Amino acid sequence: MSYVLVTGASSGIGKVFAEEYASRGRNLILVARSGEKLKSAEKELKAKHGIDVITYPCDLSKPQSAAEVHGFCSRNRFDVDTLVNNAGFNQSGPFNRLSIETHEQMITLHITTLVKLTHLFLPEMLRRNHGEIINLSSITAFQGVPYSAIYAATKAFVLVFSESLREEVRKSGVKVTALCPGLTETGIFDGAGVDPHKTRLPVGRPLPVVRAAINAVSRNQAIIVPGFINKILIHTGRLLPRWLMLRVGLILSRNEESMEKALGK
């Protein structure tokens, strides 16, 4: 029996990925820190869609977490043919004011765990000549973002990694897509201390983002940037000097209230 494995599946975009794949009749393996939320999702999705739902509570910001997830799937002979590396978080503020532990957790979650999960599940996909990998990046991957320096840098890594890997496996049956959404209504802003509606950027809904990603990977599209305004921002950034785009990014995304809080004013 084949499964879609979704990380960060207890809330936000990850939860919507689970719901959308379930509505398409796909069996699920849901991974997140909150076992209680996962069990609630399992019960709801099974009852509504009649699919198999497996849950595995795990803190993916720990270095050994990817091996634990893969080991769990291997021991139970769960065939993962779709991997959605969605788990992530953001915490905005001056780089030097945020703890090094926060930076390390973000780097581990966005980069190390994502790479390890991909490295562990990819060989099985290649042997079957079939598989799909969606890696959650962001429009911040295309430029630096003051007060979200590590977040933007890790998302840039995800984008380049996904593009490169896709080219490596393009002659196989494995497809790789980097999803680069703009601001989306999810719980990620709670941890970041930012109200997205107080920024100067459009705020999208998770469902169109998820559907765009699933359609994109089915077409073996390298990058998907949902939303017309987000596409305009990306293409404009390619024409302007990087220093200018950094200033524009600061002006557009800055939440004065949250920045003053981060600066201790």
What are the catalytic residues?
A: 151
3 state SS of 162: helix
What are the residues facing 80 on neighbouring strands?
Answer: 3
Q: Please tell me the distance from the alpha carbon of residue 134 to that of residue 18, in angstroms, as a whole number.
A: 13
Residues whose CB falls within 8 Å of the CB of residue 248, separated by 6 or more in sequence, listed in order: 240
Sequential DSSP letters for 210-243:
HHHHHHHHHTT-SEE--SHHHHHHHHHHHHS-HH
Contact 227, 180 (CB under 8 A): no
Question: Tokens representing 26?
Answer: 């796909």
Question: Tokens representing 74?
Answer: 């291997």
Q: Please tell me the distance from the alpha carbon of residue 144 to that of residue 246, in angstroms, as a whole number.
A: 6
Q: Please tell me the distance from the alpha carbon of residue 251 to that of residue 135, in angstroms, as a whole number.
A: 28
Q: Please tell me the distance from the alpha carbon of residue 243 to that of residue 38, in angstroms, as a whole number.
A: 43
> Residue 141's closest CA among 178, 104, 185, 94?
178
3 state SS of 176: strand
Please state whether 33 falls in left (phi above 0), alpha (psi between -120 and 50) or beta: alpha
User: What radius of gyration do the chain's Cα atoms show?
Assistant: 18
